[in-house]
Structure 1
């Protein structure tokens, strides 16, 4: 692909760096229903959490509406739990991308039933109207179903969370159900809010066969180039057009990228093994971004990314360089989301992962005090300055979206080299 500058494209977000908050509400194994925003004390710390983003020069945040907690099965929907988020967003000038379904659905719903699609459609329409009436700025932005392909694995093949499937067949069936619900929600929202934007999010993955099992190369290839794209292919209308998907509906693509996204194939119904640093089979992330974008050619963002512990600043250096290199190849990349803003726990063992912009410290009172990780913050500010972006928000960060021509010019000026060596 040519490295010359692409033609001017639309501008979408007010800042190039985004962030977000862990908001999973899955039914998790023996733990039952979980609300990760509550476990993080995000409801009570919403003002502090959003004020931190303003001080960091980040004007866009992924935020969740907890469907299984809002919809309790009696036909009524209670959105009052997100009022603290709406107030904090208004006070601090942060534009939300609302996750309408982040790994959780109501207890009384069968995800393989038609009722799953119709009830999610009705909930999504009502949720969009609720936030539209209280939003401080447009565009309204939604992720209808977060990571439907990855959730397909978690809930359909690995049995981590509901619906606790244990086969590739059930995984594909569950993913199709999620994609159908996503399409119905998009159409319902657009009918009421024609200017609404959708960010459809799944991980970037690369799967390779074990070195001593070249006979598994086809299985690894299928995971990388077919199964990784099931939901996007349906939502975009490239597959199963009878469900009503289209490229216009998929709108904006969100690529999640973590170190464990490059894997060695371990067989069916088994989570694959992440490749170790230095493994020669690791590919530059710019390659993965370009491949995924080229399939649909829609605007995109890196929707989640972070290193761990002390490696967070170096990870930010790596991912920003890879993103700019992808821009130089013509990819229409509009931002990088540093996720999470505040640390999160390992879903399996409950230990803090130390991957947020801010870590947490539990006080004797049980309060989780936020502690920004200074080296990470300093790395963010260095990149904001190199890209000639603000390092803190003014009173009106929405006077205009960032000019993508400015980001493309910075990418050409900095001219980063892609690198498969990750810190």
Structure 2
């Protein structure tokens, strides 16, 4: 295993300005910073000893080379206390005010920030340091650089935006390795698949370009497969992080309406993951996955079936991150609660955690199943206090 447990828990850490221009900060809104110690403890009690968590660039970077990591300290203390492995997201959509993401200053400032994060964490944590420099560059380049639904509200420039994010990620990785040579990197991006609208050649070709090329553009840049002048290499790509949700397959041109589970055009997840491994080799993990509401437990059980098929095919899938492990508020107005992950929150009682029992049972089922292959810890003996 890459981490201390096969399953990871991902804490939603989006910051930034949404499509209405509202500032959002999911670490604050879900109470994760206040409850960091208890959140990490609960995960350990259910056999999860690795997480994805966030360092919020807009809060830490004070400009002119000044950094304030007080907003990270509760997370570091919890990780150290419970001996939890952490993959630190460094740029999860939010960035310092006034910074132009299409400028050379963006790259140099991001590299300086990455170096500061590496120095700070190395002084406080032992063992391997893990980072996700730029979270979901393909999605962010679309939502913020093509359709303008997140700051900086750019439209029609998604490829230019994607190149800028790749350049920054490579510079950030280099800056981290200069301070922590043995650091590891999980580069997480969505793995999507579209079905053609019809059997006409133009529709078939458009779908093929998306599925065979566009989905992989950011990873290709990071590993130097395309635009080698950016300085990418396979070592920069390191571990490929696959973000895959229930809505990751849709009909071409119908974004927002995913293919039904019974739709024969859906491609099995195991086949999609095999295609990633065939393209890049090396280690990979499912870095984000979940469903919502009553669908959560079924999703995890079906995921276990898909992963079993990968074990049989000797694909080195090094982990599965349930993301978010605690539900979240929607990014945009109106902002309803999204019942996802292992715990929901009671907003009337200080964001008190409420376990979703069917999901907990599904997790124990998957842990038991994978423990027989040696890929996961057996399910933990559940204590009553994990229910809240």
Q: What TM-score, normalized by structure 2, do the two folds share?
A: 0.93
Match of 2:35 among 20, 42, 45: 45
Match of 2:80 among 75, 87, 90: 90
What secondary structure sits across from 1:80 in the alignment?
A: coil
Match of 2:9 among 19, 23, 39: 19
In 1: Cα distance, 2:81 partner to 2:378 partner = 19
State the partner residue of 2:173.
Answer: 186
State the partner residue of 1:141.
Answer: 130
State the partner residue of 2:358.
Answer: 375
8 Å contact from structure 1 (residues 306, 312) kept in 2? yes
8 Å contact from structure 1 (residues 73, 108) kept in 2? no
State the partner residue of 2:118.
Answer: 128
State the partner residue of 1:32.
Answer: 22
Deviation of 1:359 after TM superposition, in Å, equals 0.9
Deviation of 1:74 after TM superposition, in Å, equals 4.0
In 2: Cα distance, 1:371 partner to 1:272 partner = 29
Q: Deviations over 1:257-311 (max 9, x none)?
A: 10110011118xxx45311232111110001011012110020000011121111
8 Å contact from structure 1 (residues 55, 391) kept in 2? no
In 1: Cα distance, 2:295 partner to 2:18 partner = 29
Say whether 1:70 aligns with 2:55: no
5+ unaligned residues in a row in structure 1: which ranges?
A: 1-10, 394-423
8 Å contact from structure 2 (residues 247, 259) kept in 1? yes
Deviation of 1:129 after TM superposition, in Å, equals 1.0
Say whether 1:152 aligns with 2:135: no
In 1: Cα distance, 2:339 partner to 2:201 partner = 36
In 1: Cα distance, 2:33 partner to 2:200 partner = 48
Cα RMSD of the aligned pairs, angstroms, is 1.6
Quick check: 52-61 or 11-20, which moved more? 11-20
In 2: Cα distance, 1:22 partner to 1:12 partner = 21
State the partner residue of 1:202.
Answer: 189
8 Å contact from structure 1 (residues 302, 335) kept in 2? yes
Quick check: 154-163 or 251-260, which moved more? 154-163
What secondary structure sits across from 2:63 in the alignment?
A: coil
Say whether 1:176 aligns with 2:160: no
* Structure 1 stretches of 4+ moved >6 Å: none
8 Å contact from structure 1 (residues 156, 174) kept in 2? yes
In 1: Cα distance, 2:147 partner to 2:256 partner = 11
8 Å contact from structure 1 (residues 210, 216) kept in 2? yes
Deviation of 1:192 after TM superposition, in Å, equals 1.3
Deviation of 1:139 after TM superposition, in Å, equals 0.8
Match of 2:347 among 356, 362, 370: 362
Deviation of 1:214 after TM superposition, in Å, equals 5.8
Match of 2:261 among 270, 277, 283: 277
Q: What TM-score, normalized by structure 1, do the two folds share?
A: 0.86
State the partner residue of 1:102.
Answer: 92
What secondary structure sits across from 1:173 in the alignment?
A: helix
- Paired residues in the alignment total 375
Deviation of 1:69 after TM superposition, in Å, equals 1.6
Say whether 1:386 aligns with 2:369: yes
Q: Deviations over 1:111-153 (max 9, x none)?
A: 1111100000000010111111111x31100000001111111
Deviation of 1:339 after TM superposition, in Å, equals 1.1
8 Å contact from structure 2 (residues 189, 243) kept in 1? yes
In 2: Cα distance, 1:181 partner to 1:260 partner = 29
Deviation of 1:172 after TM superposition, in Å, equals 0.7
What secondary structure sits across from 1:139 in the alignment?
A: coil
Match of 1:223 among 193, 200, 210: 210
Equivalence map 1:320-331=2 (5 Å):
320-331=304-315
State the partner residue of 1:249.
Answer: 236
State the partner residue of 1:408.
Answer: none
Q: Deviations over 1:16-70 (max 9, x none)?
A: 1111100011221223332111111111111111111110100100000000121
